[in-house]
Amino acid sequence: MEQSQSRPILILSGLFLIALAVRGIYFFELSHLPYFDIILPVYDHFNFDQGALSFAAGDLLARSPNNSYSPLYKYFLGSIYFIFGRNFYAVYAIQFTLGALGSVLLFLIGKRLFDIRVGLLTFVGFSLYSTEIIYEGIILRAAFITFLAILSFYALIRLRDTPTPLMLIGCALILSLFFQSRPNTFLCLPFVIFYIHKFVFKDWRPEERIRGWGIFLMPLFLSFIPLLVQCYLVHDKFVFFDSSGPGAFLAGNFIDYPGVGFDSNLLKHFQKQHQMEGLSPLSFIFQQVMNDPVGFLKMIWRKLFFYFNDLEGASNLSIYLYLENSKILPFFISHFSVFSALGIMGIVLSIQARERVFLLYAYLASLILSVVLFHVVSRFRIPSAPFLILFSAYAVGRVCTWWGRRQFKPTILFTLVFLILFYGLRAPEGHVKIRYVDYCNWSYAYMLEEKWFDVDKAETYGIKCLESERKGNADWGVVNATLASIYKLYGSYLIKQKDELADKVLKNAFTIDPFDSELYRMYSDFQAGRNKTDSAIRHLHISHVADKIDATPIKTLVQLYYKNKSDPGRLLVALRVVLPMEKDSGILQQVKNEIHRLEGLLASKNQWVKSSTERARKHFSNGAWSKALKEYEKLNAYNASDTRLLIEQGVVYENLKEEEKALNSFYDALLIKGNNPTLNKSLGNYYLSVGDLVLAVLHWRRYLETSPQEGEYSVIKKRYQFFSRQLKMKDMEKQIFGLSEVQTRELYKVYKNMNVELGS
């Protein structure tokens, strides 16, 4: 007798441990990824994390930077933080435990609604569902809501057996938590009311029913009050748990909505195009239905298709990156279309067999609708997955029965229908699984903290980010700051090591961000270390062209000029540029004194400059390049204001085939007058002729910023756009690999002392 009573407990314990062991293996893998405990501010995780920290620190309102989401999960997370501290091992251990418990509850649900085989198949399906496991290891609501959905469903079916007052109250409180976790789950409530009326209170007398409804509804609605008060105090107005609802609704209910994903820019473009800004959700829908009813229905159909589709639509993050970084998850059930194809067939078969599972139909339909009414993304459909898995298990159970009875015809037909559905619901080609921002953020995570610091992996995902972004936008928009910073870091490290690889790494970085002044300054440092002074000076000039408000390259230029005993005219120009940038009062006075000294020196040469200019231009006009050069070199040694003389000197160098010296003269002229559109245009054209697209687009950009929109402006603009695209679409090769632990530690020290900009 005791053995028969303990057997179910042993079975349930065994199932629980199996589901927990599966999650434990993934838990171990997750603990070796930076997203185990790194939470970027761009993610919704950040708001839940900050709200939980606030609550654990004593803020009963659990406020966070973005309070638009239902706060229940913040309190759940904050309670864990309060007990264990901000300990992610504790957070994920609890969430994985809830996932394993949910697997056991689904076994009991499947066994009760159908039979033990369906229960076991449901357990296997949910235990091995990769997407669910991934979300259990993320600080988001998806897995939390899923567990509450399973628990509330189980409580409701048990309510039929034991409709005691205590059970009614317990069921009401569990449902309350489920509804408060995300308000769109309220779609289940009418069906729950009908279920209790039809199946729980069926044989109760009228007075017993009234009392039963009071016992159930009073705790249900009274338990809403704390969070409603919290929302009112935080938002200064009544909010039904979640203020993000209207925005989320609009983002997935415009006629041009592709059917999957979340992109607020698409919504804004549609609203602007159709002059529908500022409309309420109901007015927005009504106007679209009136304008294009067929288009609106097509949009709903697309959302239904993508709900059942295999594509895991990204919103905050892409689960495909988690799958890529796991050795175990890809061997589990990673295709939602397995459950959707089998689930659809299970629904048809259960209706055909007249299975009495009203609540299962109701929960699944409500939760599907809760997704389709808004926008279809991976995490939104997770709470509906357990109920789809139940129908999938039922379908597989029926096939097993047919096979056991040697009914091959329905088995073959079932298989064919499944394959058609499974193939038809595959992820469509052309739809992005991993967005460029997902790669960028993954790269970013490997640079944030010392324990995760890995430049090799950061570069790998940075390149993927850049390549993915290039596919979506071939124009120069936001450059990949993370990848450029990685090469800055590695280049700086190589320069200190006097490694010639720095040349290749920094030139590679130029193609990623041609407008980053720091990259050119670093390359100048590298060239200076190789005693290539002219190149070092020129790249400091280029750095100044890239960013005129950055004082560092000009200050370094002044130092190089003095070190190499440059001409007084050159020194005076550089000091005049430095003067308004200098913040140190002591150094500022020194600069003023030196400028005053040099101006006096140049003033003494005024008469000589005039006569020398006449001789130089006479030789220039006669094409006597060597004679002209002698005059220009002497003349420009004391020239600190006339750009024409420097440009003419550059032309002389060009005619004498000394292109490097010609460039030096042109950049000296640009330092006097940086907003010289003609010179920037000419330099851009020159760099194009020698195949240097980086400096070509840099100088053309400066031309477009300073030139009036006439003459060659449109021609240069088209040229700039075309070659910018060419440069941006250039294939990237990995530069960093095989770093030792010692090198990684040294790189981290360099990184901590660098001013780098990370982010997508």
DSSP letters, 327-371, are SSGGGSB--HHHHHHHHHHHHHHHHHTT---HHHHHHHHHHHHHH
d(CA 502, CA 494): 5
CB 337 within 8 A of CB 310: yes
- Provide, rounded to the nearest whole percent, the portion of the chain with pLDDT above 70: 97
Angle at 256 between CA 255 and CA 260, to 5 degrees: 105
Helices (H), 449-514: 455-472, 481-496, 501-512
Q: Is the pLDDT of residue 353 over 90?
A: yes
What residues have CB less than 8 Å from 137, skipping those under 6 apart?
Answer: 26, 27, 30, 36, 92, 95, 96, 322
pLDDT for residue 79: 97
> Encoding tokens for residue 345?
């067939």
pLDDT of 3: 54
Sign for the pseudo-dihedral over CA of 148, 153, 156, 162? negative
- Residues ≥6 apart with Cβ < 8 Å to 390: 106, 109, 110, 113, 118, 122, 346, 360
pLDDT tops 60 at residue 2: no
What letter would DSSP give residue 711?
T
Tell me: the pLDDT tens digits for 201-238? 988 999 999 999 999 999 999 999 999 999 999 999 99
pLDDT for 142 equals 94
* Cα 185 to Cα 13: distance, rounded to the nearest angstrom: 30
Q: Which of 48, 148, 133, 106 lies closest to 367, judged by CA?
A: 148
Highest mean pLDDT, choosing among 278-287, 467-476, 605-614: 278-287
- Would you state the pLDDT for residue 269? 86
pLDDT 10s digits, 699-717: 999 999 999 888 889 999 9
Please state, in angstroms and as integers, the Cα–Cα distance from residue 219 to each residue in 190, 196, 207, 230, following that order.
17, 15, 19, 18
Cα→Cα distances 27→5, 96, 328, 335, 454, Å: 33, 8, 11, 21, 21
- Collapsing DSSP to helix, strand or coil, 112 comes out as helix
Alpha-carbon gap, residue 15 to 8, rounded angstroms: 11
Distances (CA, A) of 393 to 113, 286, 308, 311, 561: 12, 40, 17, 21, 79
* Predicted local distance difference test score (pLDDT) of residue 479: 59
Least confident of 149-153, 175-179, 675-679: 675-679
Can you give the pLDDT at residue 469?
A: 78
Phi and psi angles of residue 325, each rounded to the nearest 5 degrees, phi first: -95, 15
3-class DSSP state for residue 129?
Answer: strand
- Higher confidence at residue 726 or residue 651? 651
Amino acid 268: pLDDT: 87
pLDDT of residue 207: 92
pLDDT at 755 (0 to 100): 58
Query: How far apart, in Å, do the first and last CA atoms of the chain sit?
Result: 64
> In this predicted structure, what is the pLDDT of residue 732?
81
- Which pLDDT belongs to residue 478? 44
Cβ burial of 698 (10 Å; 0-12, 13-18, 19+) is: buried
| Distance (Å, whole) CA 286 – CA 273 | 17
- The confidence score (pLDDT) of residue 401 equals 94
Q: Distance between CA 553 and CA 575 in Å, rounded? A: 12
What is the average per-residue pLDDT within 243-260? 88
C-alpha 748/C-alpha 754 separation (Å) is 10
Query: Residue 611's pLDDT is what?
Result: 85
pLDDT of 384 = 96
Looking at residue 113, its pLDDT comes to 96
d(CA 387, CA 110): 10
Tell me, what's the pLDDT at 760?
39
Question: Between these two residues, 169 and 752, which has the higher pLDDT value?
Answer: 169
Neighbours of 737 (CB within 10 A): 9
pLDDT in tens, 628-685: 999 888 888 888 888 999 999 999 999 999 999 999 999 999 999 888 899 999 999 9
Stretch 68-72: mean pLDDT, rounded?
Answer: 92
Residue 1 has a pLDDT of 45
**Per residue in 354-412, pLDDT tens?**
999 999 999 999 999 999 998 899 999 999 999 999 999 999 999 999 999 999 999 99
Mean pLDDT of the region 162-183? 95
Cβ 394 vs Cβ 325: under 8 Å: no
Average pLDDT of the residues of the chain: 91
Q: Is the pLDDT of residue 243 over 50?
A: yes
pLDDT(199) > 70: yes
Provide mean pLDDT across the span 134-154. Answer: 96
Q: In the chain, where are the structural domains located?
A: 2-240+317-340+357-392, 435-516+675-760
Spatial CA neighbour of 136 closest among 385, 401, 469: 385
The answer, yes or no, to whether residue 314 has pLDDT greater than 90, is no
pLDDT higher than threshold 50 for residue 758: no
pLDDT grade, residue 476 (50/70/90)? Answer: very low
Most confident by average pLDDT, 88-92, 521-525, 751-755: 88-92
